[in-house]
DNA sequence: CTCGGAGTGTATGGCGCCATACAGTTGGGT
DNA sequence: ACCCAACTGTATGGCGCCATACACTCCGAG
């Protein structure tokens, strides 16, 4: 057991607040939480909103396509669609040319909701980008992409 | 139903890969996964490693202190300590001056493990920081902090 | 035509974290 | 001296995602 006044050792830095990895994790949590707060009137969470937006913009989508766009697995996309379908926001239409897939499409209510969401979404994002220039955001995205790339390639 | 070739609407951007919020979430997931892969020999996950490092560096800690350092809730810190204690890495010592709290300390095995972890940890981080200068990392941390700040302050 | 590899959605179980509610303890204000 | 707000750790239930395994369907090589 060493002195408590010992200067920062390398091992100490791991969980510290200024630690890059920890910052990313915390940021993800806070972003999700902020989106949830901002979308509470529409009763949507961040992922449901993402699905809604993608369906509004890119027409009927297969669940696998949806999963790819949202960066989640197919199983998660399935339960996501389940929830939206149960609320009448989305419909599953059988694809006549491929009996394996569902064509997930917005219902009329869903399209109306997507329009309302669109406006709210830009409000939220503007609030989250306070104090950051467009250049900052671009740079941040670039660095995050690098980090993701390194993490994905990393093999034990 | 509109044309599939329709140009990107603002609503479309939400779940896209170059979307800042999505990037942060994905980065957090991939970082955690990379750490798990890198620490598999020590049978530690990212949070357990963080607890280990903090205990090694900052002496005996209260569970609340540990939670604060790891940016998690007290309940999560409790289950974290449960797991480490079950493996003999950590001990809960009653605080003689405050019967509410546990003083969580590393066991002898835990201290040995922390030493091994220290080396492995810097290896992993170096791999994750490939292609990023020190200035890049500092900037990334700064921008993430700004994002966290905005998200935390955001009220529906 | 058949057969096997590849793709699609689904079921199940696990993980890490949260929010909430709770009982025990402390410490200060009156 | 007492009481009550504040704090500690814990129990419970929920959430969002993953990995794995599965049945079904497609499609191309032989």
| B93 token code pair | 């010592």
Tell me: pLDDT of A156 over 60. yes
Q: Could you give the CA distance from residue A156 to residue B124 in angstroms, rounded to a whole number?
A: 8
Tell me: pLDDT of B30 over 90. yes
- Evaluate whether A83 touches A50 at the Cβ level (below 8 Å): no
Tell me: pLDDT of B15 over 50. no
Q: Give the pLDDT score at A18.
A: 53
Place of tokens 């961040």: A46
Helix (H, G, I), strand (E, B) or coil at A61: strand
Place of tokens 């980065």: B27
Handedness of CA A120, B13, A141, B17 (dihedral sign): positive
pLDDT tens sequence across A114-141: 999 999 999 999 999 999 999 999 999 9
Asked if the C-beta of B75 comes within 8 angstroms of chain A's C-beta atoms, the answer is no
Least confident of A13-17, A118-122, B72-76, B77-81: A13-17
Q: Could you give the CA distance from residue A19 to residue A44 in angstroms, rounded to a whole number?
A: 31
* Interatomic distance A75 CA / D23 C1' (Å): 15
Tell me: pLDDT of A11 over 60. no
- Evaluate whether B26 touches B65 at the Cβ level (below 8 Å): no
Q: Give the pLDDT score at B8.
A: 32
pLDDT tens sequence across B81-110: 999 999 999 999 999 999 999 999 999 999
DSSP at A70:
H
Tell me: pLDDT of B7 over 90. no
Helix (H, G, I), strand (E, B) or coil at A94: strand
Asked if the C-beta of B135 comes within 8 angstroms of chain A's C-beta atoms, the answer is no
DSSP at A58:
S
Tell me: pLDDT of B13 over 80. no
Mean pLDDT, all residues of chain A:
88
Q: Give the pLDDT score at A149.
A: 95
Tell me: pLDDT of A59 over 60. yes
Interface test with B, best of A1, A9, A12, A25 (most B CBs within 10 A): A25
Helix (H, G, I), strand (E, B) or coil at A23: helix
Q: Give the pLDDT score at B19.
A: 85
pLDDT tens sequence across B109-143: 999 999 999 999 999 999 999 999 999 999 999 99
Place of tokens 């200024």: A18
* Interatomic distance A147 CA / D6 C1' (Å): 42
Partners of A151 on chain B (C-beta within 8 Å) are 27, 30-31, 33-34, 128
Q: Do A145 and B25 count as a contact with CB atoms less than 8 A apart?
A: no
Partners of A28 on chain B (C-beta within 8 Å) are 24-25, 27-29
Cα distances from B30 to residues A155, B70, B138, in angstroms, run 12, 18, 20
- A93 bridge partner residues: A103
Tell me: pLDDT of B18 over 70. no
Q: State the pLDDT confidence band at A19, using cuts at 50, 70 and 90.
A: confident
Asked if the C-beta of A97 comes within 8 angstroms of chain B's C-beta atoms, the answer is no
Q: Could you give the CA distance from residue B132 to residue A139 in angstroms, rounded to a whole number?
A: 12
Q: Give the pLDDT score at A17.
A: 38
| B83 token code pair | 């797991």
Handedness of CA B135, B140, B143, B148 (dihedral sign): negative
- With a 7 Å cutoff on the CB, does A72 touch strand D? yes
- For chain A residues 111-140, those near strand D by a CB cutoff of 7 A are none
- With a 7 Å cutoff on the CB, does A98 touch strand D? yes
Interface test with A, best of B81, B116, B148, B149 (most A CBs within 10 A): B148
Tell me: pLDDT of A150 over 60. yes
């Amino acid at each position: 057991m060493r002195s408590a006044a010992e200067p920062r050792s390398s091992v100490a830095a791991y969980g510290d607040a200024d630690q890059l990895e920890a910052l990313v994790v915390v940021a993800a949590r806070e972003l999700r939480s902020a989106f949830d707060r901002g979308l509470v009137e529409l009763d949507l969470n961040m992922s449901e909103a993402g699905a809604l937006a993608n369906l509004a913009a890119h027409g009927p989508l297969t669940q696998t396509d949806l999963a790819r766009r949202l960066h989640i697995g197919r199983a998660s996309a399935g339960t996501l669609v389940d929830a939206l379908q149960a609320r009448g926001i989305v419909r599953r239409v059988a694809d006549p040319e491929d009996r394996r897939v569902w064509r997930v499409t917005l219902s009329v209510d869903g399209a109306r909701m997507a329009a309302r969401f669109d406006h709210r979404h830009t409000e939220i994002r503007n609030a989250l980008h306070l104090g950051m220039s467009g250049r900052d955001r671009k740079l941040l995205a670039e660095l995050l992409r690098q980090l993701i790339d390194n993490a994905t390639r990393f093999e034990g």
